[in-house]
Amino acid sequence: MEQIKVANDGTSSPPVLAFGTMVIGVPLLLTAVRCTLQYIVVPFVLPLFSVSGTFSPAVNILAGVLSLGVILYNLKRLWRTNWRNRYLLLSLFIIPVVLGSIYHDYLTYLSF
């Protein structure tokens, strides 16, 4: 189980990780894998083996799913903290998703 320490002195500081946890390491590692796939493997490595047309969409979809998983993991961890600014930060994540969904629906269903 993850251990997160939060300062209870009323200051506006983000949560501090307890010593010896791997909480930061997992999202950072997953982000590194996603960026390596999306920005190095797809544009440079796959064309060297002449398989870019076959595997590029699959690798990009895999990278996108991995990215969404990391975002959801971090939001879940943030929600469990007692940091008083968590609602502000969560709204900064959620509002663009909602606006993007509305825009996509507009283009798909209402645009002529």
Using 50, 70 and 90 to split pLDDT, how confident is the model at 82? confident
Sequence-separated (6 or more) residues with CB below 8 Å from residue 18? 3, 4, 5
What does the pLDDT look like over 34-66, one tens digit per residue?
888 888 888 888 888 888 777 788 888 888 888
pTM higher than 0.75 for the full model? no
Question: Residues 17, 5: contact at Cβ < 8 Å?
Answer: yes
User: What residue ranges do the domains of the chain occupy?
Assistant: 4-84
